Amino acid sequence: MFIDEQECTGCGVCIPYCPVEAISDRGGVSFIDFDQCVECGVCRRFVDCPGNAIHESPETSEWPRSVRRVFSDPIVVHPSTGQRGRGTEEMKTNWGSPSQ
């Protein structure tokens, strides 16, 4: 996922929707940290972005982004297993914590 800076209005409505807190305000526009983003698609599916600034990233299809997406996006079917992603709740609880 990525947010187009040219389309972003800076309203911040998308920030609380990210279940892994990968979206933040950076200089008056929303920004997605690729290292934190698990490609679950929640921001794209559930946020009513006034600027339509949230898009699927070209990097989504590249490793490791493609792996993150098939595990965390319940809409995406894994090509080898035929199973959908398990969603971000499972992703958050199994992703690891600072104590690990």
- pLDDT tens profile 44-60: 889 999 999 999 877 66
Which percentage of the chain shows pLDDT scores above 90? Answer: 40
- Give the span between the Cα atoms of 17 and 13, in whole angstroms: 8
Amino acid at 65: R
Confirm if 39 and 69 have CB atoms less than 8 A apart. Answer: yes
Residue whose structure tokens are 């990233």: 57
Overall pTM > 0.75: no
3-state secondary structure of 77: strand
Assign domain 2-94 one CATH number from 3.40.1190.20, 3.30.70.520, 3.30.70.20, 1.10.1040.10.
3.30.70.20
Helices (H) and strands (E) in the chain, counts: 3, 4
* pLDDT greater at residue 28 or residue 97: 28
At residue 94 the predicted structure's pLDDT band, cuts being 50, 70 and 90, is very low
3-state secondary structure of 65: helix
